[in-house]
């Protein structure tokens, strides 16, 4: 394909200082903790729908970056099957 050699980095259009921005920062901080249960737990006093929305968009952006990285190196010929090992 005609993919650019640059890695795709999606822009986050969440205004700094907004409530959604604070939720995103909370999610980023807890994801790095190594405790997945804590990372996905709804923060006390937060709206479930807003929490899910912020995390869904961020999850999509992370998967999109991973996919972009993989497609820079893998083709149907070089990677006929995507796997993490023999199984």
Q: Which pLDDT score is estimated for 15?
A: 77
- Angle CA 48–30–83, to nearest 5: 95
pTM across the whole model: 0.48
Residue 34 has pLDDT above 50, yes or no: yes
Q: Which pLDDT score is estimated for 70?
A: 85
Q: Which pLDDT score is estimated for 17?
A: 79
Q: Which pLDDT score is estimated for 47?
A: 92
Whether 58 and 31 have beta carbons less than 8 Å apart is answered as no
pLDDT tens, 36-72?
777 778 888 989 998 888 888 878 887 888 888 888 8
Q: Is 74 annotated as a binding residue?
A: yes
Q: Which pLDDT score is estimated for 49?
A: 93
């Amino acid at each position: 394909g005609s993919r650019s050699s640059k890695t795709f980095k999606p822009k986050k259009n969440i205004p700094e200082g907004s409530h959604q921005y604070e939720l995103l920062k909370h999610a980023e901080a807890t994801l790095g903790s190594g405790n997945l249960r804590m990372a996905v737990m709804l923060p006390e006093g937060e709206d479930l729908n807003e929490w899910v929305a912020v995390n869904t968009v961020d999850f999509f952006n992370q998967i999109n970056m991973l996919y972009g990285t993989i497609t820079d190196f893998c083709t149907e010929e070089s990677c006929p099957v995507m796997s993490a090992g023999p199984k």
